């Protein structure tokens, strides 16, 4: 197929491009003028055609969508200055794609990569399912839920499927493993959530496999069932923060860090300081107040039962120690 890929210069997007090309698809990536030159070079070296544009540039977007059999829509921001910026990119960009696709005589199929943040945290001991009522706790999560609503709102014209991953890690991971490695090397780290909190993870290659299968075999969104056409994907093993840190330590051949519990107020205060410091430098903080709202929750777990039943999704990369070591070898 001819696949149009948004968010191609990001962590998941670059990996997905490799999978798409490896399966023989033709890939066109919509990239911004400010995209990272090394990321663009990596895409072009794979054989990806890059079109420089903004999603709101309707003429270029219409031409690109009209030439595509399918769209893998990954473009999003995970850190922003305020709620408006999250919604402008995450919901607004999605609206541009779906609205333009809906205007075509033959709209392409759209697979939208959302996030478990759109669903919200889980109750300890009870993983979230696709039919649970969403309750996002962050501006990011609410913007991704708004983007899902946009996709649903066009489902009568545009065949579409939504995939919700939890924390994604693997080679090129810009967030989880670098954070863990820093704590392990320092010998001390923080535990921002309650001690009993658990998290679901998914390896980037397993997520890419799920996105591809969602395109070829997934159900499409429809009005008959709220969970139809929505797939959560994870590796099936909820882990505590302590377990995740121990896996990182083993991958680095170090001792596990001493974890200090921080009360919610301290986490939020530290995030506010980091945010202000980054703003003074004209950048975005790795930890901001929006991300802190997610970090202090009691649990982030989900099931992949629907993806397993309907897509045949079986995660392959589930040994955390081994995959962290592999990420070190293939940064």
- Per-residue pLDDT for 330 more than 80? no
- Average pLDDT of the segment spanning 247-260: 94
- Average pLDDT of the segment spanning 149-166: 97
The pLDDT assigned to 222 comes to 87
> What pLDDT digit, counting tens, does each position of 43-68 carry?
999 999 999 998 988 899 999 999 99
- Per-residue pLDDT for 183 more than 80? yes
The pLDDT assigned to 90 comes to 97
Residues pairing with 51 in the sheet: 30
**Separation in Å, CA 200 to CA 72, 122, 168, 174, 277:** 23, 11, 9, 18, 31
List, in order, residues 6 or more apart from 187 with CB less than 8 Å away.
Answer: 255, 257, 258
- Per-residue pLDDT for 255 more than 70? yes
Give DSSP secondary structure letters for 162-218. Answer: EEE--EEESTT-SSHHHHHHHHHHHTEEEE-S-TT-EE-EEEHHHHHHHHHHHHHHP
- Per-residue pLDDT for 227 more than 90? no
Q: Which helix (H) or strand (E) holds 176?
A: helix 176-186
Question: Distance between CA 180 and CA 164 in Å, rounded?
Answer: 23
pLDDT confidence of 226, banded at 50, 70, 90? confident
The pLDDT assigned to 262 comes to 87
Name the pTM for this structure: 0.95
- Average pLDDT of the segment spanning 245-260: 94
For the chain, the C-alpha Rg in angstroms (whole number) is 19
Tell me how many degrees the CA angle 184-193-328 measures, rounded to the nearest 5: 30
- Per-residue pLDDT for 331 more than 70? no
Closest CA to 145 of 162, 126, 167, 127: 162
pLDDT confidence of 297, banded at 50, 70, 90? very high
Question: Distance between CA 163 and CA 273 in Å, rounded?
Answer: 34
> What pLDDT digit, counting tens, does each position of 83-135 carry?
999 999 999 999 999 999 999 999 999 999 999 999 999 998 899 999 999 99
> What pLDDT digit, counting tens, does each position of 8-28 carry?
999 999 999 999 999 999 999
Closest CA to 249 of 173, 172, 177: 177
Going by the DSSP 8-state scheme, the letter that residue 44 receives in this structure is H
pLDDT confidence of 223, banded at 50, 70, 90? confident
Question: Distance between CA 96 and CA 4 in Å, rounded?
Answer: 14
pLDDT confidence of 321, banded at 50, 70, 90? very high
For the chain, percent of residues with pLDDT exceeding 70: 100
């Amino acid at each position: 197929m001819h696949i149009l890929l948004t968010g191609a210069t990001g962590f998941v997007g670059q990996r997905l491009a490799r999978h798409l090309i490896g399966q023989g698809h033709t890939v066109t990536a919509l990239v911004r003028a400010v995209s990272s030159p090394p990321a663009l070079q990596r895409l072009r070296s794979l054989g990806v055609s890059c079109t420089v544009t903004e999603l709101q540039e309707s003429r270029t977007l219409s031409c690109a969508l009209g030439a595509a059999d399918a769209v893998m829509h990954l473009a999003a921001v995970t850190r922003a200055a305020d709620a408006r910026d999250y919604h402008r990119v995450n919901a607004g960009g999605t609206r541009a794609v779906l609205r333009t696709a809906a205007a075509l005589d033959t709209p392409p199929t759209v697979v939208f990569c959302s996030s478990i943040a759109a669903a919200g945290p889980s109750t300890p001991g009870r993983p979230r399912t696709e039919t649970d009522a969403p309750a996002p706790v962050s501006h990011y999560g609410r913007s991704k839920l708004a983007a899902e609503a946009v996709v649903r709102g066009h489902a009568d014209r545009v065949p579409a499927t939504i995939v919700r991953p939890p924390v994604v890690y693997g080679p090129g991971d810009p967030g989880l493993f670098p954070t863990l490695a820093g704590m392990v090397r320092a010998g001390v780290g923080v535990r921002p959530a309650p001690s009993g909190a658990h998290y679901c993870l998914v390896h980037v290659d397993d997520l890419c496999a799920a996105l591809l299968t969602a395109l070829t075999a997934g159900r499409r969104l429809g009005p008959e069932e709220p969970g139809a056409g929505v797939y959560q994907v994870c590796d099936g093993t909820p882990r505590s923060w302590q377990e995740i840190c121990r896996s990182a330590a083993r991958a680095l051949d170090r001792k596990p860090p001493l974890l200090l519990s921080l009360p919610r107020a301290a986490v939020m205060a530290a995030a506010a300081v980091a945010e202000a410091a980054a703003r003074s430098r004209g950048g975005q903080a790795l930890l901001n107040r929006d991300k802190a709202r997610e970090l202090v929750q009691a649990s982030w777990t989900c099931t992949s039962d629907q993806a397993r039943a309907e897509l045949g999704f079986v995660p392959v990369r589930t040994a955390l120690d081994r995959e962290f070591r592999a990420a070190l070898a293939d940064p």
